[in-house]
Chain A
């Protein structure tokens, strides 16, 4: 048996996400069970102690989110996973992690909402919650995989981005991707890049915890217990980490949080184009809907229709630039999404009326089939 065949396995999306986390170096998981994300917790409860990591089932999602932030401050790459109702409970301490710049990865295997909604019904209804779920102006990174292989690889990237930019990264799966079984090839150790958190190079007495050391504006981060005694708070603060209510300090803190992400857009934005070269109609899709859309592209092309797709891998920050460039070339944009119009509005505002944008929006727990997309293509061509 050669190495590749050993590492090729049939796996569920949730399981691939958990294995991706281990590969990325995650050594701490705290969570609370909820369908359809529970398998991630179950796999990690088994796997983490095998690699010297820690797993804990907390009393709720608020506590889980708090625990991963605490763990991350000691230097452990940390993760939690949840679905709809639990994602709502994460919001409080998600905001804390953004403000205090503590890296962590939060997986949301989306199910139909609102409220308890449809526990086993797939959905893409939490896209706006991912952007604005916690209060106040804040940046966020959210990514969405479309296959089991990508669940693995994107989890690794999510950890890298989180450690690199000191921000929580949201892995927006959906019930379809989370529960789908596909053959995946587990990358060999070293095959994928792993980013390790930048720690201070100065002595503890010189350490100014939130003072950026380079143009990235991302300050190096000391781990608790290593001699750098500093203060972490959810209050707006200056570079020393101590709170201030001076408008200048509070404004500067907010600005840096946004600016560090803006400066990193090249690393953060990930999209994939298919058949866009000569396309008249562009499909914009993400997550499980990208699979339906890919099928629609193929069938439309077979009929001689010039259709292409832009697949959003990064959803937040929104890949506006990539979209704008394509908007120059195409005659219409169609956005199929399993919600009642969350991304289509963002697309409209990004293309600024240059081309007509149509949504195919549905929130009933069913995947929008390629046929419906094909009908829409006929309609707009």
Chain B
């Protein structure tokens, strides 16, 4: 029931601007359900986004919201969290926003392990600017700037997050909403940099350019091509070929940045201020 989560939305601003069948709305709902399940105080929760279709989400969410510049959401979020570690800080970002222009901020944020919850809406394309390829467009995919097929290779962004030091890394999709909510929820519980890749569909640009059918077809594709990590672990390699593995891929807690910083401040108790 939408009524159960309505308090987390700026309902007067709905319906949102996303195209018919864009799954951004589904992912946003999972984020909100995870926040509700975790019982986070709305007044103490900040949601930061970059620029792109997905980053428009902040305008609809009834929290302290910060819609920043292209690729920089993590850097703004770092300032918010470090200045006031009491705040729960979420980052909503697109595949172009996070992995292209924001790639450097991404790896460094993962390395620092500040307690941020990052949800990457991966629709494999630049939606807002009209369908150019992104660093997460598959090889061979068509885009307005890859009219003959993409000759670049995409990032496996979860592996990049792990290699960069993220302490919690998970992948979900917009079909399996229960799983998506759960992995975001588990990320909230991790005190450190938590990263969730949420597979999204952009039927208007990515879908059309690549003849993937309508919005429902694209969702069914997610259903049929993703397997959970648990299932994948039991399958022989040949059966995993071409499948996208979802679920919690990595969880290895490490000292959290703002906690470590507070220890330095605590050494000076009795200074001007504490």
Stretch of A34-42, A59-67, A166-174, A328-336 lying at the B interface: A59-67
Contact B79 A227 (CB under 8 A): no
Binary flags per residue of A47-74, CB closer than 8 Å to B gives 1, else 0: 0011110101011101110111111111
Known: A49-B265, A52-B271. A225 touches B64 (CB 8 A): yes
- Is A187 part of the contact surface with B, judged by Cβ < 8 Å? no
Q: Are A225 and B265 in contact (CB under 8 A)?
A: no
B148 at interface, CB cutoff 8 A:
no
| Contact between chains at A51 and B78 (CB < 8 Å) | no
Known contacts A49-B265, A62-B75, A242-B59; is-contact A71 B80 (Cβ 8 Å): yes
Select which of B74, B79, B261, B264 is within 8 A of A71 by beta carbon.
B79
Q: Is the CB of B43 within 8 A of A227?
A: yes
User: Do the beta carbons of A66 and B272 come within 8 Å of each other?
Assistant: no
A233 at the interface (CB under 8 A from B): yes
Contact B69 A66 (CB under 8 A): yes
Given A49-B268, A226-B43; A93-B82 close (CB under 8 Å): no
- A27 to B84, alpha carbons, bound, how many Å? 11
Verify A69–B79 contact, CB threshold 8 A: yes
Count class of interface residues, chain A = 35 or more
The distance in angstroms between the C-alpha atoms of A235 and B75, with both chains bound, is 18
A96 within 8 Å of B by Cβ? yes
Residues of the B chain whose Cβ atoms lie less than 8 Å from the Cβ of A67: 75-76, 78-79, 82
Assess whether A232 is in contact with B83, with CB atoms less than 8 Å apart.
no
User: Quick one: CB contact mask for B33-55 with A, threshold 8 Å, 1 for yes?
Assistant: 00000000011101010000000
Partner of A70, one of B65, B67, B76, B264: B76
What separation, in Å, do the CA atoms of A92 and B87 have in the docked complex?
26
With A28-B82, A69-B76: A229-B108 Cβ-Cβ less than 8 Å: no
Whether B271 contacts A70 by the Cβ 8 Å rule is: no
Determine which of A54, A66, A225, A234 lies in contact with B82 in the assembled complex, contact meaning CB atoms within 8 Å.
A54
**Interfacial chain B residues near A233, Cβ < 8 Å:** 58-59, 66-67
Q: Determine the chain A residues whose CB is within 8 A of the CB of B268 once the complex forms.
A: 49-52
Does A177 count as interface, using CB distance less than 8 angstroms? no
Q: Which residue of B lies closest to A243 (CB)?
A: B59
Question: Is the C-beta of A76 less than 8 angstroms from some C-beta in chain B?
Answer: yes
Indicate whether B72 reaches chain A with its CB closer than 8 angstroms. yes
Take A69-B79, A224-B87, A232-B67 as given contacts and tell me if A49 and B264 are in contact as well, using a CB distance cutoff of 8 Å. Answer: yes
Known: A54-B83, A225-B43. A232 touches B65 (CB 8 A): yes
Which single member of B13, B67, B72, B261 contacts A54 (CB below 8 Å)?
A: B261
Q: Give the docked Cα–Cα distance between A62 and B105 (Å).
A: 9
Query: Which residues between 207 and 244 of chain B lie within 8 Å of chain A, taking CB atoms?
Result: none
17 A–B contact pairs at CB < 8 A?
A49-B265, A52-B272, A52-B273, A52-B274, A54-B83, A56-B78, A58-B78, A67-B76, A69-B68, A70-B80, A71-B82, A73-B79, A74-B80, A224-B66, A229-B43, A231-B59, A231-B65
Question: Which 3 A-B pairs have CB atoms at the shortest separation, nearest pair first?
Answer: A70-B79, A67-B79, A66-B75
Known: A62-B72, A93-B72. 7 other contacts (CB 8 A): A63-B72, A63-B105, A76-B84, A96-B68, A224-B87, A229-B63, A232-B65
Give the interface of A toward B (CB within 8 A): 27-28, 30, 49-52, 54, 56, 58-60, 62-64, 66-76, 78, 92-93, 96, 224-235, 242-243
